[in-house]
């Protein structure tokens, strides 16, 4: 960030209140104003281990999962054990309080042999 007071490029810039304005200043100039907050160095978000998970779940996936589970005669605990997940996770997903990640969604699809992840319309083959 470039210091708005001296113009020097500094990685340790801070946001300060200077003459009633919020400005970016280097550490040397920060004493000229009131420090607001320390600027955290911005790390580029590198998708290294976690791939971008952008997918849509079918509407009412919670009810769908609950019904599928009941059809199998399983309790949440049973299902959690079989999927190596926590019962609370399963419960939250059923209540749609938790959006399963792609891995869990695929696992649930396989487990119940049901479709949870919305496929693109044109890919729908029937
Ligand atoms: Zn400066």
pLDDT of residue 10: 79
Q: Kindly give the distance from the C-alpha atom of residue 114 to the centroid of ligand 1, in angstroms, as a whole number.
A: 60
Nearest to 83 by CA among 66, 104, 100: 104
Distance CA 107, CA 126 (A): 23
Distance CA 101, CA 17 (A): 42
Q: Kindly give the distance from the C-alpha atom of residue 27 to the centroid of ligand 1, in angstroms, as a whole number.
A: 7
| Per-residue model confidence as pLDDT tens digits over 27-58 | 889 889 988 765 556 665 554 444 555 788 99
pLDDT of residue 49: 47
Q: Kindly give the distance from the C-alpha atom of residue 32 to the centroid of ligand 1, in angstroms, as a whole number.
A: 9
Q: Kindly give the distance from the C-alpha atom of residue 1 to the centroid of ligand 1, in angstroms, as a whole number.
A: 10
pLDDT of residue 102: 87
Kindly report the average pLDDT of the chain as a whole number: 85
pLDDT of residue 53: 56
82, pLDDT greater than 60 = yes
Domains of the chain in sequence order:
1-39 (no CATH), 61-120 (1.10.260.40)
- Average the pLDDT over each of 5-9, 51-55, 66-70 and give the range with the smallest value: 51-55
Looking from the CA of 27 toward its CB, the CA atoms found within 13 Å total 5
pLDDT of residue 14: 86
Q: Is 37 helix (H, G, I), strand (E, B) or coil?
A: strand
Q: Is 36 helix (H, G, I), strand (E, B) or coil?
A: strand
Q: Kindly give the distance from the C-alpha atom of residue 65 to the centroid of ligand 1, in angstroms, as a whole number.
A: 58
């Amino acid at each position: 960030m470039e210091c708005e007071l001296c113009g020097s490029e500094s990685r340790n810039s801070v946001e300060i209140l200077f003459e009633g304005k919020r400005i970016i200043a280097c550490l040397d100039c920060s004493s000229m104003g009131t420090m607001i907050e320390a600027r955290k160095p911005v790390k580029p978000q590198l998708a290294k281990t976690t791939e971008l998970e952008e997918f849509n779940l079918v509407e009412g996936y919670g009810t769908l999962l609950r019904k599928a589970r009941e059809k199998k005669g399983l309790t949440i605990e049973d299902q959690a054990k079989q999927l190596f997940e926590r019962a609370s996770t399963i419960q939250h997903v059923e209540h749609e309080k938790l959006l399963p990640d792609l891995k869990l969604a695929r696992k649930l699809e396989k487990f119940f042999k049901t479709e949870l992840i919305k496929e693109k319309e044109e890919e729908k083959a029937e």
